[in-house]
Chain A
Amino acid sequence: MSKVNWKILVIGLGVTLPLVMLLATGFGNDPKAVPDARTGDPAPHIALADLQGNTWSLEALSGTPVLVNFWSTWCGPCKYEHPMLLQAAEAYSGVQFLGVIYADEPKAVSRFMLKPPYKGLMDRLTSKDIDYPNLPDPSGRAAIDYGVGGVPESFFIDRAGQIVYKSTGPLSPEVARRELDRIMRK
């Protein structure tokens, strides 16, 4: 075996075998799943002022199920899910919906809210006395506390203040209904 080219053997196996082993570590994962370490934890504290200057805090809402939705006007999917969220806020008036505006200009938000279909849906909520405040988060503090990786993300919080479910990406009506029912029941 003196004719073995050890250089090729050692370098070759040194590169390829660890690569194969590394690939093998990926089998247990569901690649589409995003970890949500926060599920089951108490919801981090939020105290932010809405666009009108009224302060909203989770503590003050204790005992009420809450849906916290992180969004921004530059995010297409956020806008895509918004009409559904506003309709859900109307249907589930027992749940407090909070929009947290992520990395965005309050001006852009105000402008956006004056346009259809947002305006019409919002007016309808107001006429029914349902609050759906949108809270600018200029320091990004709330987003960091909630571990937001990208917008939109929604957190379903039950009456006890625990995060029951986290959704990443635009919410489908089915998931929204299922999870809203769950936090209403708990």
Chain B
Amino acid sequence: MISLLGRGLVLAALFFAGTGCLAGFVAGSRRNQRAWEWARNSAYGFAASMIAANLLMVYALVTHDFSVSYVAEVGALRTPLYFTIVSLWASLNGSILFWGGILGIYTALAVWSLGDRHREYAPWAVHVLMGIAIFFAFLVASIANPFAPVLNPLSDGPGPNPLLQNHWLMAVHPPMLYLGYVGMSVPFSLICAALLAGRLEAGWMVPVRRWMLIPWMFLTVGINLGGWWSYAVLGWGGAWAWDPVENASFLPWLTGTAFLHSAMVLQRTGKLRDWTLVLGMSTFLLTLLGTFMTRSGVFNSVHSFTQSNIGPVFLGFIGVIFTYSVVLLALRSHKLDEEATATDQRIGQRTDGRSGILSREFMILLQNATFTVFTFMVLLGTTFPLLAEALAERRLSVGEPYFDMFALPLGLTLVFLMGVGPALPWGSQAPEAAVKHFIPGLVLGGVLAGIFGALGYTKPMTLLALFLIGFTLYSNLYEFIEPVRARMRARSEGPGVAALKVWSKAHRRFGGHIAHYGVLMAVFSLALTKGYRDETEVVLNTGEVTQFHGFDITFAGGRWTKEEHRDAVMARFEVEGVGAFEPRLNYYAGKMGGNPIYTPAVYTMPTGDLYFSILQLDEPSPGNWTVIVRLIDQPYQTWLWWSAPLMALGTLITLIPARRQNRKPEAA
């Protein structure tokens, strides 16, 4: 019954996607009101049927309806409810359905938020968005059908992959990434809409940039949570390994971040138009590449789903979308040129049109160039093993040394530009005034590096990173606080009132600064964990004590526990003056049964983590346990986890719609 209903909903979604795509085209090319209403209603229809199909699958999972193929694949009676719901994205077919559901949510929200404004663009946007929707609905309806009926259903199933059941982060990391990946289809559609409509006004760039910010925020959080999950579960004490699929999520983040900045230049000066569009489109294309990498079986990774025949179809789609984007841009960008004159003139009133080297737009240009090199190098490192195999029939992998080689200098360059950029005004400025801005920042950088140098962090690259962080922190704080002080002076208001007035009026800019603080936190953590992580492996018998980084650690023995869905053996470590920690090995029944999932324990302090990871745990004689444990001292690790909420907060503040103002808008 559920199989039939689910299939019906998916087919309905496919139908609505088809009519929406077609009606969008008619409405866009003929300016036809009825077609536009069709397109919009079809978009809502697609959203409703896809979301309903997802809810139905959750229902099937929760009620353990093993006559549905996907439930038979990942469901199990012993799995707790919470993980049963999460199983929606535990395996390939469910994850594609979930993808479609999120596309539905985004579609509905995007169409609703555009409303009846932007009538020249909106139908084209729906046309493209529904074109993408056709593909995903087709996948769910055909080769990735999770609703296929099982003729002789069993009474129980194998349960989801143990790695997914092992930690609560697995309930949040994948959906955040999906929200990031899928959401990129909206700015892509809006950009295509501008090209199809043959015009790009400053007014249309507002929704384009906003719709980029939303998935960018989810992507940021998703990547960060993925690192946290890896740290909390995989037991090697690291957050990032330059694994192909990690890279796949990082690539759109790089181009998306570059886009968010170059779009500001475009909105203000009319410059970098084609480039900004290329960045925006590439971001979506790179998310498709990321999806392909996890689902095609072409790359070996901790994220790989099992091999399936979805790969070639997906690659075909990627080929079509890539070609479509390039051809669309090549054929239509001249149309934008003709249209742009008016826009340029309007913008010409704000600046004199020329930009000096010491201007914010020039720094954004440099930042864009750095991001582009970064993207290229990561893409090269990720695909190089394939290239080597295709051309030289050699199997190799590109590891951390390659990526670290460029990530460090490029990352630090970006931090530096993040400090210089906001300190410079748009247009041109006399160098003396700019340099005056920089001096206190350089001093703060020196102080920060000095403090950590005195604490023993003396590696040159770490000190350079800390220096740049201090510099950038100052220049972003200055931009935050100086306008408040100026207002206090000018209007003799108190700091609270002045801050509220200034920050609420130009909240988008201040949101950007807050996001910058988040980035600085992440860089700060990375600079210290990279250079000063220390680890050791010790063998301890029950009652034995070991010293590590000033901690007295006693091994108090081990014990077995039985939980609803797993067995676990844990080792108890008592840290003097702190408490007890129990890293464990979890054993799940089912597919991967027998192989333990190692789960570390972490003592988190602001200045660093103490990390326990069991390598082996035995009980040679009753009551007498032997453990081989890896102890890791990970300085300032927790700062990395807190960077994402800060970046998300900054983005959310930026997303708050501006109040209508009668006066001329401030230069924000």
Interface residue A76 (Cβ < 8 Å from any Cβ of B): yes
Chain B residues contacting A20 (CB-CB under 8 Å) are 315, 318-319, 322
With known contacts A5-B329, A30-B307, A17–B315 Cβ distance under 8 A: no
With both beta carbons as reference points, the residue of chain A lying nearest to B326 in the complex is identified as A12
- B389:A25 contact, CB within 8 angstroms: yes
Minimal Cβ-Cβ distance residue in B for A116:
B626
Contact assessment for A4 and B330 in the assembled complex, using a CB-CB cutoff below 8 Å: yes
A120: B residues at CB distance < 8 A = 620
CB distance from A174 to the nearest CB of B (A): 9
Q: Least Cβ distance of A82 to chain B in Å?
A: 9
Query: Which of A30, A76, A80 has the most chain B CB atoms inside 10 A of its CB?
Result: A76
Q: Interface readout for B616-633 with A: 1 if CB under 8 Å, 0 if not?
A: 101010000010101000
Q: How far is the CB of A167 from chain B (nearest CB, A)?
A: 15
User: B660 near A: Cβ within 8 Å?
Assistant: no
- CB-CB contacts of A13-51 with B at 8 A, as 1s and 0s? 100110110111111011110110000000000000000
**In this assembly, does B658 line the interface, its C-beta being within 8 Å of a C-beta of chain A?**
no
- A79: Cβ under 8 A from any B Cβ: yes
How many interface residues does A have (CB within 8 Å)?
A: 34
A60 adjacent to chain B (CB < 8 Å)? no
Chain B residues with a Cβ closer than 8 Å to the other chain, count: 47
Contact with A along B26-54 (1 / 0, CB 8 A): 00000000000000000000000000000
User: Which one, B298, B326, B595, B628, contacts A13 given CB within 8 A?
Assistant: B326
CA distance A2 to B307 in the complex (A): 46
Chain B residues near A76: list those with CB within 8 A: 537, 615-616, 628, 630
Residue among B301, B335, B383, B539 with max Cβ neighbours from chain A (10 Å):
B539
Partner among A32, A79, A80 whose Cβ is within 8 Å of the Cβ of B300: A32
Contact, CB under 8 Å: B389 / A29: yes
Which residues from 270 to 326 on chain B have a C-beta closer than 8 Å to any C-beta of chain A?
274, 278, 285, 289, 292, 296-301, 304, 307, 311-312, 315, 318-319, 322-323, 325-326
Write the B312-349 contact mask toward A (1 if CB under 8 angstroms, else 0).
Answer: 10010011001101110111011100000000000000
Given the known inter-chain contacts A24-B315, A116-B620, please indicate yes or no for A12 contacting B329, CB distance below 8 A. Answer: yes
Q: A19-B383, A26-B389 are in contact. List 11 more A-B contacts (CB 8 A).
A: A6-B330, A8-B329, A8-B330, A12-B330, A23-B289, A26-B298, A29-B389, A31-B297, A31-B300, A76-B537, A76-B615
A residues apposed to B, CB below 8 Å: 3-6, 8-9, 12-13, 16-17, 19-20, 22-27, 29-32, 34-35, 74, 76, 79-80, 83, 115-117, 120, 172
The interface of chain B, by Cβ under 8 A from chain A, is 274, 278, 285, 289, 292, 296-301, 304, 307, 311-312, 315, 318-319, 322-323, 325-327, 329-331, 333-335, 383, 386-387, 389-390, 395, 537, 539, 541, 594-595, 615-616, 618, 620, 626, 628, 630
